[in-house]
Amino acid sequence: MTRAGSVRILVAAGLLLSLEICCRSGIINMTTMIPPSEMLGAIADLARSGRLLKESLPTFRNVTIAFVLAVGLGVIGGTVLHSLPRVRRVLDPLLASYYAVPFFALYPLFVVIFGLNDWPLIMIGIVFAGVAVVVSTLNGIDRVPPVLLKVARIYRMSRTAKVRLVILPAIALPLFTGIKLALAYSFIGILAGEFILASAGIGHAIAFAYDAFDNRTMYGLIAFTLILVTLMNMGLQACERLLLKGRSR
Amino acid sequence: MTQSTAAVGKSRRLQDFALLVACILAAWQALYMIVGDVAITSPVTTLGYAIELLPSSDFRPHLAASLTAFGNALLISYAGGVLLGLTLGFHRFSGEVAEPMLGALYSLPKIALYPIILQIFGLGLSAKVAFGALHGVIPVALFSMNAVRGINPMHLRTARVLRLSSIETVRTIVAPAIIPEIVTGLRVGFSLTLLGVLIGEMFASQHGMGFLLINAINLHDVKMITTLIFVLFLFATVTSAILLAIDRRLHVRV
């Protein structure tokens, strides 16, 4: 491990430890925050009682569906948009200011359109995450070296062969940035939706525990969410490093 | 570019923009015709209601409350983010340690932290501001840090060769090199701070646009919901377009 990596772990451990000490010694009131060790205990309790699985399963399912659809539709959308420069120029201001718009405001609209089920949540996830994939696909295709396209022409590749053998490998890295964002965004969109509207899922369970003054459950669920998202991000970063390594060979 | 081609480019951009607005309005109207009054009001009705609502004395205090919270949150995000980013940028090792941590914080669903903010700050202005700043500070810090790291070392060496004083180095080399990138960060931070403040108002406030929105959702006041979404989208898009124009101009100059 690099020196920066070990210092990073020390810093994180130090922060957690000082939080633990602050909570235990009463500098931070126990009604405000419970110590990190208690949070872990709460996660274990929730897992034992089966509640953790029950609450998180709908969230996982929805995030997975939204993420997969956002990446699929985003790559297709980006590729199509790249082949239509006129349309792209018109849409450009929209893409540039897309993430300035508070999207969760659309939940009620989606509920009326899709009904009171999981689809409004999934749609918010897709709408929120998909555009990041579209933008990174466009960026990726823009940066494919022209010489590779010429090689494809020399080999008289079909359109599908060109996409599969030349374009996809060339845009893998920029696309991966979009995929990372898409995962984070579908999580954010769906959790926010669960907080506001849903009757199931982790977001709803956290809001419910908050309203019921059930601090232990609430902090357990929050800690669980944060740990989970961090682990997923670290996994994606590892994948990215692998991609980079394959590139440099 | 000559004067005339610039003018042609400009008129073409205006044309494209008009086309985009027309397409959005058409899509909105089509959606209205499909789903009807239960979900959304038509563009004409919404515009009419917005013109009636915006100057009314019922609405203005909410707008003022949102703007106050947003202004404060923005100030904290910008000052904190730039300071943190510059520190981490100039002190390379701390930057190396902190970067993945900031990245992880950036992609956390911060809405899950909402109850904690409420426990600490209570209901009201400070919670909204804290939540907005929480959203905005990290992207500003990340962009500022990368701005400093992106300074061409050759330029700094040139400054040393020319024996520039540190003030002159900052003025002539460092500032011009990092400002465009920092402005990009400020632009991203602007949007996210707005998002944070609005979410904050939805949960923890009796004032502000976010409160009006969640209230309208609970009462199923479709006209109010559509109008608020429209006003928010308009504000977000216009400000982001202005910031984007500044951003692009700064980047072109380099």
Residue A229 touches partner B, C-beta closer than 8 Å: yes
CA gap B34, A7 in Å, rounded: 58
> Coil, strand or helix: which one is A93?
helix
In the 8-state DSSP scheme, what is residue A106?
A: G
Contacts of A231 (CB under 8 A, 6+ apart): none
Please state the domain count of chain A: 1
Q: Where are the alpha helices (DSSP H) in A143-167?
A: 146-154, 159-162
Name the residue type at position A43. I
The verdict on a CB contact (< 8 Å) between A184 and B236 is no
Look up the CATH number of the domain holding residue A157: 1.10.3720.10
> Cα–Cα distances in Å, from B115 out to A184, B120, B241?
20, 9, 33
Per-residue pLDDT tens, chain B, 254 aa: give them.
Answer: 445 566 667 788 788 888 888 999 999 999 888 888 877 888 988 999 999 888 888 889 999 999 999 999 999 999 999 999 999 999 988 888 888 888 888 888 888 888 888 888 888 889 999 999 999 999 999 999 999 998 988 998 999 999 999 899 999 989 998 999 999 999 989 988 998 898 888 877 888 898 998 888 888 888 888 898 888 888 888 888 888 888 888 887 55
- Is A24 among the domain residues? no
CA gap B136, B216 in Å, rounded: 27
HSE (side-chain half, CA atoms, 13 Å) at A115: 2
The verdict on a CB contact (< 8 Å) between A100 and B101 is no
Stretch 184-213 of chain A: residues touching chain B, C-beta under 8 Å:
184, 187-188, 191-192, 195-197, 202-203, 206-207, 209-210
The verdict on a CB contact (< 8 Å) between A102 and B97 is no
The verdict on a CB contact (< 8 Å) between A233 and B107 is yes
Where does residue B163 fall: left (phi above 0), alpha (psi -120 to 50 degrees), or beta otherwise?
left
- Is A156 among the domain residues? yes
Whether the CA torsion B198, B199, B200, B202 is positive or negative: it is positive
Beta strands in chain A (DSSP E): none
Q: What is the pLDDT of residue A248?
A: 58
Per-residue pLDDT tens, chain A, 249 aa: give them.
Answer: 678 888 888 998 999 899 888 888 888 887 778 888 888 999 999 999 988 889 899 999 999 999 999 999 999 999 899 889 888 888 887 887 787 777 777 777 788 788 778 888 899 999 989 999 999 999 899 888 889 889 999 999 988 888 888 888 888 888 888 998 899 889 988 988 888 777 888 988 998 888 888 888 999 999 999 998 889 888 888 888 888 887 655
Residue A33 touches partner B, C-beta closer than 8 Å: yes
The verdict on a CB contact (< 8 Å) between A196 and B217 is yes
Residue A16 touches partner B, C-beta closer than 8 Å: no
Contacts of B119 (CB under 8 A, 6+ apart): A31, A32, A33
Chosen for mutation from A92, A101, A124, A187 (greatest number of chain B CBs closer than 10 Å) is A101
The alpha-carbon gap from A176 to the nearest alpha carbon of chain B, in Å, equals 15
CA gap A128, A67 in Å, rounded: 10
Count of CB atoms situated within 10 Å of the CB of B211: 21
- By C-alpha distance, which of A122, A171, A167 is closest to A148? A167
- Is A10 among the domain residues? no
Residue A114 touches partner B, C-beta closer than 8 Å: no
Per CB-CB distance under 8 Å, the chain A contacts of B197 are: none
Residue A93 touches partner B, C-beta closer than 8 Å: yes
A169: containing domain: 34-248
Q: What is the pLDDT of residue A64?
A: 94
- Is A228 among the domain residues? yes
Q: How far is CA A168 from the centre of its chain?
A: 22
Residue A147 touches partner B, C-beta closer than 8 Å: no
Chosen for mutation from A33, A34, A97, A241 (greatest number of chain B CBs closer than 10 Å) is A97
The alpha-carbon gap from A4 to the nearest alpha carbon of chain B, in Å, equals 5
The alpha-carbon gap from B87 to the nearest alpha carbon of chain A, in Å, equals 16
> Coil, strand or helix: which one is A143?
coil
CA gap A194, A177 in Å, rounded: 26
The verdict on a CB contact (< 8 Å) between B119 and A196 is no
In the 8-state DSSP scheme, what is residue B107?
A: T
- Is A89 among the domain residues? yes
CA gap A139, A159 in Å, rounded: 20
B101 closest CB neighbour out of A8, A188, A222: A8
Q: What is the pLDDT of residue B1?
A: 45
Contacts of A224 (CB under 8 A, 6+ apart): A43, A46, A52, A56, A202
- Is A184 among the domain residues? yes
Q: CA of B109: which chain A residue's CA is closest?
A: A188
- Is A42 among the domain residues? yes
- Is A14 among the domain residues? no
Chosen for mutation from B92, B101, B107 (greatest number of chain A CBs closer than 10 Å) is B107
A206 closest CB neighbour out of B115, B120, B191: B115
CA gap B228, B234 in Å, rounded: 10
- C-beta separation of B139 from B185 below 8 A: yes
